[in-house]
Structures are given as structure tokens and as C-alpha cells.
Amino acid sequence: MRATTWRAHERNTRLYLLPSIGKKKLAQLGVRDVRLMIDRMRADGVGARTTQYVHATLRVALEHAHREELVSRNVAKMVRVERPKAEVKQPLSVEEARTLLDATTDDSRHALWVLLVMLGLRRSEVCGLRWEHVDFEARTLRIHRHGTPLEPRNLTRMWSEMNVYGHVNLDAQRRALDDQLTRGRCCQ
């Protein structure tokens, strides 16, 4: 199990499952208990995606318990949780991109923000970047794997491994970015 999956399961268990159904014995847990937990989460304003993940965490745990013959059936499988509707995300406007990059100018991770804004990369894709992915002659960057979760200690390690500040002229990147923003070619 990946570390991010483990953390997500632990968080779902600690914040939602234990407070709601944690006092129930596995053998006594019923479909109604799971349904009431889901209904309570919705009533408390918990997001649809979070509710879906919490239900999935419970379903996986009960499936494991079922395989180990600790429960006779997986009651979570009998409760349907609607799949949340996909949200259409709007890209940053030129002005929003400028504001973000202006606000991060003094941030030690400014190069990260430039990559995120200019290339539209996901956080995990930026964390997976290594110098061998950069072809300076062809002026290309290969994005092909996800890195470690975006946490301060991982960013520090990543930037020191890449020696980013010794190789990237942030002033030149900033001028190029300002030029693209001025022409309105960024974030479209």
C-alpha cells in the first residue's frame, strides 16, 4: 500500500469512522449503521468526494475482515454512495496567475509555483521531476512519473537533490513569464 493511501485510510478512520461507528463490534455492524453514518456525514456538510472515500475505506476494511472470516458479510457493499459529479475546474486567469506568482516571489519554492502555473502540472508531477527529465538542447521536459507527496520535508529534499537554485535563473524565468502573461498566452 502506498504511503498516501495509508495516510488517507488513517485520516478517514480517525476523523469519520471511529467517531461514528467505532464503538460497534464488527459482528454487530449493520447496513443501517453504515447508511446512518453516510447520512450524518452529508447532514454535517462533509463533501461528496470525502464521503465517497470514507465509504470506500470502510468497504475495503470490511472486505479484508470478510476474507479473514471476522465478519460474515461486508455490509458497506450493500450501501450505495453516489459518485460525486465531476467539477469543471477553471484555469487561472492571466491576472490570477500574475497575483499568485507575485505572492510567491520570495517563497523558497518559487520555481515550483512557476512550473505549476506555466506548465499546468499537478503537484505530484512537479515532485517527480529530476534533472535527467530536462533536455536543454531540445528545450523539452519529460513528465512521466509522480513523485512523493507534496510536504515541506519532501520539497526540501527534492529541491536540494535537483540543485534547482544553482541551475535555474529565476530572474530570466520571471521575465519570460511576465512576457507571456503580457501577451495573454499563459493559462489558456
CATH (domain of 54): 1.10.150.130
pLDDT digits (tens, 9 = 90+) for 2-48: 777 888 889 999 999 999 999 998 889 999 999 999 999 999 999 99
For 114, the domain range is 94-183
pTM for this model (two decimals): 0.56
* Residue 141 main-chain phi, psi, to 5 deg: -135, 125
Would 84 be classed as within a structural domain?
Answer: no
Both 64 and 122 in one domain: the answer is: no
| 74, 66 Cβ separation under 8 angstroms | yes
Domain count, the chain: 2
Q: Are residues 8 and 50 in the same domain?
A: yes
CB 111 within 8 A of CB 168: yes
Do 98 and 53 share a domain, yes or no?
Answer: no
